[in-house]
Structure 1
Amino acid sequence: VLRVGRSISGDIERATRVLSRFGEILSAGEIYASLQRLHATSRRLITETAHYDAVLMPVIAHPPLACGAMNPKGADAFIEDVLDRLRLARLLKFKPLFGQLMDKSLWFTHWPAIQNVSGQPSIALPVYVTDAGLPLGIQAAGRPGDEETLLSLAAQMEKISGWLTRRAPLQVPA
């Protein structure tokens, strides 16, 4: 594998490094087959939603979590650390381990992932605030090449939601 540029391993989370190394161990045939499935699924999604100006969905699947809540703990952290330090991403080929990592990753943000793989334009907008003061948002996905409709929709939603005039509460330590 030809490597160019500086190492980014210190700039990304350990789980992201481990999953990125998974790509290094796939054969060309496995990558090709995966891309074929990805493209077929994307085409189907785009075809199924083509008659809508936009499709609305939640940005997150659960209420907002505290910073660090998704970080692995205990045995999960140990396994992830070993996979990272020893560059053992090949162990991810064991479906239960890879499935666990992917399930955890997608548990919280599975809706945006759909547009990440389909290539559809999408925009996330805060539209609600929880009792704890945390924003909740929706994601609007549009037709490929039709960012104009999404931006127009976003502008209208921002206007009626009052979000543009909202300010985060400023907490000053006592």
Structure 2
Amino acid sequence: VNLARIVPDGLLVFFPSYYLLEQSIACWKSLSNESSASIWERICKHKKPVIEPRESSLFGSSMKDYLTKLNDSTVSGAVFFAVCRGKVSEGLDFADHAGRAVVVTGLPFATSTDPKVRLKREYLDQQSGEQGESFKVLTGDEWYNQQASRAVNQAVGRVIRHRHDYGAIIFCDERF
């Protein structure tokens, strides 16, 4: 809530997964007690929210909605709730007033039970075990951690897009 109040213009908030995004928003919408506003209502008091949709076909309208809300003079900007590895975090510019801060709420590790991830880790572990001291190959765990770090780098890179641009980067996980 304080970031929504303090950060001017656009605020991007990235979650590790759609599940955590949806659970967090559901929690924020519930009242903690009868006499006060919910966290969601307090965020909306300062910024108009937009949530990245799971369906890529709906993304264009979400982006348009964000830009419209960002330029609404009745509030101090908009907040885009999105996921690492989603459309918002990869390949879009939120230069200048469109992104004055980015918040990363956790490390976006790939699903460890995904067959592609599991097989890649097993393959790299096998390759690193076969290599000698002269040639270093990533282990499966090193690759897995590196993929999460790359996703975070992609997300934080949305904000500062040119040499005169500025923005805050906030990591909200003790592992950073």
- TM-score using structure 2 length: 0.23
Higher Rg: 1
